[in-house]
């Protein structure tokens, strides 16, 4: 009597007389991959919703007492009386008449990233909706804008806008160029920005009399580095 042929199991699947039969547990790797993919997609969706569709308010910057004093002095040099006072500070002293004079040191304007954000926190209602970042030749901003209830689709929601502006000094003139604008994480096309992305506004419009020409002519030096902005005005 001929012996029965043994099923081929070299590929991990037992084959019976009436067809292939999977070994118990052979489908577990596929199930694990599906579960992990589902978890990853869910976490990505939650991050997207919380970051761009329902973003939380920014945390206002708190300056130390010494940092606040330095900022107050800078503001007073610019003629902003009282500066950004800390809590409990009194009112500004009354103005006293005095002859006009110019101090060459007052032509220098310098602010750190922390000072700018602290200024927003103490003097405007934008502390929880606007954050500024200063890096090498780049000023960046994040802005939260609450939409009115009647606005289509996004009514009652808060959208997040990110923008970058190049600030530099080259060929004895300031350089001001829009790097880009993103809404809810989506970069806007250059056509929607008036084709002004990466265009030096001073070079483009500074040749004619007007704001950009006057702005450029009044700047002696401009330096933007990591965490600090320095500007010196001409006489």
The pLDDT value recorded for residue 180 is 92
Residues ≥6 apart with Cβ < 8 Å to 68: 83, 84, 85, 86, 118
CB 126 within 8 A of CB 137: no
CB 202 within 8 A of CB 174: yes
| CA–CA separation, 207 and 162 (whole Å) | 30
| CA–CA separation, 86 and 227 (whole Å) | 22
Alpha helix positions (H), the chain: 28-48, 65-77, 113-123, 201-205, 211-217
The pLDDT value recorded for residue 85 is 45
Residuewise pLDDT in 10s, the chain (235 residues): 555 555 555 554 455 455 555 555 555 565 655 556 655 555 554 445 555 555 566 677 777 888 778 877 777 766 665 444 444 444 556 778 889 887 777 788 888 898 888 888 776 677 778 888 999 999 999 888 877 777 666 667 778 889 999 999 998 899 999 999 988 888 889 998 899 999 999 988 887 788 888 989 999 999 998 999 999 988 8
Q: Compute the half-sphere exposure of residue 16: CA atoms within 13 Å on the CB side of its CA.
A: 5
The pLDDT value recorded for residue 177 is 94
Phi/psi for 122 (5° steps) reads -95, -20
Q: Are strands 130-135 and 138-146 parallel, antiparallel or unpaired?
A: antiparallel
Phi/psi for 156 (5° steps) reads 80, -5
C-alpha distances (whole Å) from 219 to each of 37, 166, 185 are 55, 16, 34
**What torsion, rounded to 10 degrees, do the Cα atoms 103, 106, 76, 115 define?**
-160
| CA–CA separation, 29 and 39 (whole Å) | 15
> Is the pTM for the entire model greater than 0.75?
no
Beta bridge partners of 175: 168
Q: What is the DSSP string of 126-179?
A: -TTTEEEEEETTEEEEEEEEEPPTTSTTTTT-EEEEEEEEEEEEETTEEEEEEE
pLDDT in tens, 126-185: 777 888 899 999 999 988 887 777 766 666 777 888 999 999 999 889 999 999 998 888
In three-state secondary structure terms, 216 is: helix
| CA–CA separation, 73 and 82 (whole Å) | 9
The pLDDT value recorded for residue 161 is 87
């Amino acid at each position: 009597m001929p012996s029965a042929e043994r099923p081929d199991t070299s590929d991990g699947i037992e084959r019976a007389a009436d067809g292939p039969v999977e070994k118990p547990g052979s489908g577990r790797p596929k199930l694990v991959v599906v579960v992990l993919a589902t978890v990853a997609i869910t976490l990505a969706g939650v991050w997207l919703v919380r970051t761009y569709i329902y973003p939380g308010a920014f945390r206002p910057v708190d300056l130390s007492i010494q940092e606040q004093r330095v900022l107050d002095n800078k503001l007073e040099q610019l003629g902003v009386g009282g500066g950004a006072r800390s809590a409990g500070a009194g009112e500004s002293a009354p103005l006293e008449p005095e002859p006009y004079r110019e101090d060459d040191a007052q032509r220098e304007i310098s602010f750190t990233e922390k000072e700018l954000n602290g200024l927003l926190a103490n003097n405007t209602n934008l502390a929880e909706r606007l954050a500024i970042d200063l890096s090498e030749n780049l000023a960046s901003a994040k802005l939260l804008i609450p939409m009115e209830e009647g606005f289509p689709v996004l009514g009652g929601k808060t959208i997040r806008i990110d923008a970058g502006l190049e600030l530099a000094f080259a060929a004895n003139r300031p350089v001001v160029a829009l790097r880009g604008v993103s809404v809810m994480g989506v970069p806007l096309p250059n056509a929607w920005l008036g084709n002004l992305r990466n265009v030096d506004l001073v070079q483009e419009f500074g040749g004619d009399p007007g704001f950009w020409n006057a702005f450029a002519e009044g700047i002696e030096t401009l330096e933007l580095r990591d965490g600090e902005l320095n500007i010196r005005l001409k006489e």
